[in-house]
Amino acid sequence: MRTGPFPEALRAALAARGLALHRVRHRLAQRGIHVGVTSLSYWQRGVRRPDRPESLRAVSALEDVLELPEHALTRLLGPRAAADHPVSRTLRALVGPDSVLERLLAELEAPQDGGLHTVLQYERVEIDRARHLASREAQHVVRAHRDGVDRYVAIHCGEPGCDTAAVRVLGLDNCRTGRVRRAPEAGVVVAELLFDARLAAGETAVLRYRFEDGTGEPSHEYFRGFTYAGGSYTLQVCFDRTALPVRCRRFGRPSAQAPPRYADSLTLNAYGTVHVVEPQIRPGHVGVAWDWN
């Protein structure tokens, strides 16, 4: 409580009082302060910072609810941040220096902070009987943390030997495909997925899109990289039931240069699929690796 940071201090105070977030919300409402359970969860996880005047009033009331000294939490907030968005790492730290991905994003005039963060993401990857990455389909719920956001930039990394000219990008729900840039030497495709209207800060959007590939060498792993913290992610890998791997494992790593950290083996179900769930996204890679016979 003396040194912070604010999210850790808030979590410690909640744990010490043994109060669930819905009870905290109820006690705040009794004091005339209305704040959602989602906002309280974001504050204690460091996904959002209580910067607005009504949020600061809620933090002051929290000190009373949690039986803390006056200003015990508010003093840990410090100066107002320039923007209310998740803690993040640079793309360069995630993919390495001099990446072709940086060049493609520059061609699309896409800033490293695209103004969006993921609330929820589900991704379905299909591996065909020839062991190729046939397609991947993603559904996102995203929230804008600044005004004027009108697109999501999606990235596809094919296997070695990927024919990027043959990769198709489809905007399926609530978005349409805009400009597409390809790097054949690296097997990378970057595409704009355009919304029908600009989002204001705090607004959400749901979108679904798919990359169709099926080229390159046999696939041995799939991972998703995140530059920020917050939100949840589910990855499902679906294999052709006539060509199943002998073992699947979950793995993670903080950057492209770091060695992967493998977890226990995943069990293929009767439908030939495995999945992993990341309840709270952290900067780095989350993925599944598999071994062929």
Note the pLDDT of residue 113: 67
The domains of the chain are located at 6-76, 91-291
Among residues 193, 196, 129, which one has the least CA distance to residue 155? 193
Which structure tokens are listed for 106?
């520059």
Note the pLDDT of residue 290: 96
> Dmax over Cα atoms in the chain, in whole Å?
65
Note the pLDDT of residue 105: 85
d(CA 211, CA 129): 18
Note the pLDDT of residue 96: 53
Per CATH, 6-76 and 91-291 having the same topology is answered: no
Note the pLDDT of residue 82: 39
Q: What is the pLDDT of residues 54-101, one digit of tens each?
A: 788 888 889 889 988 888 888 888 654 434 444 444 555 455 545 788
Confirm if 185 and 200 have CB atoms less than 8 A apart: no
Architecture of domain 6-76: Orthogonal Bundle (1.10)
Give me the percent of the chain exceeding a pLDDT of 90: 50
Residue 287 pLDDT > 90, yes or no? yes
Note the pLDDT of residue 246: 95
Residue 19 pLDDT > 70, yes or no? yes
Note the pLDDT of residue 256: 72
238 falls in which pLDDT band (50, 70, 90)?
very high
Give me the percent of the chain exceeding a pLDDT of 70: 92
Q: What's the average model confidence in pLDDT over 157-186?
A: 94
Note the pLDDT of residue 79: 53
Confirm if 224 and 86 have CB atoms less than 8 A apart: no
Note the pLDDT of residue 162: 94
CATH number of 91-291: 2.60.40
Note the pLDDT of residue 218: 95
Tell me if the bond preceding 5 is cis, omega within 30° of 0: yes
Q: How many helices (H) and strands (E) does the chain have?
A: 6, 13
Note the pLDDT of residue 78: 63
SS3 117: strand
Note the pLDDT of residue 109: 84
Q: What is the pLDDT of residues 24-46, one digit of tens each?
A: 999 998 888 888 888 888 888 87
Note the pLDDT of residue 158: 92
Note the pLDDT of residue 219: 96
Among residues 125, 288, 117, which one has the least CA distance to residue 204? 117
